[in-house]
Structure 1
Amino acid sequence: MKHEKYTTQIIAGKYKGRKLELPSLDTTRSSKARLKESFFNVLQFDIIDKIFIEAFAGSGSIGLEAISRDAARAYFVELSKSSYNVLIRNCKSIDAQKCQTMLGDTFVQMPIILNSLKNASQEIILYVDPPFDYRDGMTEIYDKSFEMVKNIENDNVMLVCFEHMSELEMPQELGKFELFKSKKFGKSSLSYYQAK
């Protein structure tokens, strides 16, 4: 029996309409098109020439959308080997030159990436979408994600966006960042933080 391939596509920019493969739905849920579109509508031209980091990247559809819209480069961190293989294929189909992929734990890799970019001239946008279908230990992954953002020392991180379950109470402040906007899309929401 052949597995059905799930796909999504780039919404706008120079790779508009380009198909991206999605990992099987049991390992990851793809960021819904409406949510993705809203996120990039908020960013508009602020994405141009920025460094984009997608934590818990899955298929990489958010970071690759950023590249399609002229982000300077994108970093992806993914823990699941099968999702990571899909991510690599997607990067190759868009622009492998601009993609930096890491197979590993976001909580370990993220501080390393941010540290390496401390003196980068470009500003950084960080997209954090913790997998929230692991019922137990679910709150822990959010707490660890909040902690990770609290510990960011970079002065060049301009925006941190969380994709999260709508019922989750988001902190007003995370270290040097404060919440300035939230938008709900059914079960998922986006919360935006900027440096104070």
Structure 2
Amino acid sequence: MKINTPTTKIIAGKYKGKTIALPSLDVTRSSKSRLKESLFNVLQFDIIDKIFIEAFAGSGSIGLEAVSRDAKKAYFVELDKGSYNILVKNCKAIDMNKCQTIIGDTFVQTPSILESLKSSNDEIILYVDPPFDFRDGMDDIYAKSFKMIEEIENENIFMIIIEHVTTLEIPNTLGKFTLSKTKKFGKSTLSYYTYS
């Protein structure tokens, strides 16, 4: 019996309509289309030629949307091996040359990517979407995500976006960054941070 793999489509840009696979829904939560559309309506042309980092990548649907809309390069960090394999397959289906996939712990890998880009002239958009179904060992995931952002030293961050459960109270400032706006989509909310 063939199990249907969940899929989603790229909503806009040069790869519009291309289908990408999603990991099993009990491992990752795919970002809803409405949320994704709103995110890229906010970013608009600001995405062009930026470096996009998707910190909890899952299938990579957000970062690949950024690639489709002319981000210069996207970095994807994913811990779960099954999700990572799907992510690599999706990157190959879209544009492997613009994708850098890393398997491992976001809290180790993301700071290391940021460090490697510190002296780059490229501006960075960091997308942080911690899994919020609070699986075992996940209960401090937001605290750890906030701490990771607070410790960012890069001067070339254009924006940091956190996708989080709507009921979460999020800090007004995180290190050098201040909350500039939030948008709710039912259970999920997008919060945008820029330089203070």
Same fold (TM over 0.5): yes
Gaps of 5+ in 2: none
Gaps of 5+ in 1: none
Matched, 1:152 2:152: yes
> Structure 1 CA distance, aligned partners of 2:5 and 2:97?
25
Q: Which amino acid aligns with 1:183?
A: K
Deviations 1:66-87 (A, max 9, x none): 0000000000000000000000
> Structure 1 CA distance, aligned partners of 2:138 and 2:105?
16
Matched, 1:133 2:133: yes
> Structure 1 CA distance, aligned partners of 2:158 and 2:194?
6
Matched ranges for 1:1-196 at <5 A: 1-135=1-135, 137-196=137-196
> Structure 1 CA distance, aligned partners of 2:31 and 2:110?
20
Deviations 1:136-176 (A, max 9, x none): 55441000000000000000011000000000001000000
Q: Which amino acid aligns with 1:65?
A: E
Q: Which moved more, 1:164-173 or 1:126-135?
A: 126-135
> Structure 1 CA distance, aligned partners of 2:53 and 2:83?
17
TM-score of the two chains, using structure 2 as the length reference: 0.98
Q: Which amino acid aligns with 1:90?
A: N
Deviations 1:87-134 (A, max 9, x none): 000000000000000000000001110000001111000000000112
Aligned-residue sequence identity (percent) comes to: 69
Q: 3-state SS of the aligned residue for 1:191? A: strand
CA RMSD of superposed structures (Å): 0.9
> Structure 2 CA distance, aligned partners of 1:22 and 1:136?
22
Q: 3-state SS of the aligned residue for 2:148? A: helix
> Structure 2 CA distance, aligned partners of 1:135 and 1:86?
21
TM-score of the two chains, using structure 1 as the length reference: 0.98
Q: Which moved more, 1:1-10 or 1:100-109?
A: 1-10
Q: Aligned pairs, how many?
A: 196
Q: Which amino acid aligns with 2:182?
A: S
Q: CA offset at residue 2 of structure 1? A: 1.4
> Structure 1 CA distance, aligned partners of 2:82 and 2:114?
25
Q: 3-state SS of the aligned residue for 2:164? A: strand
Q: 3-state SS of the aligned residue for 2:120? A: coil
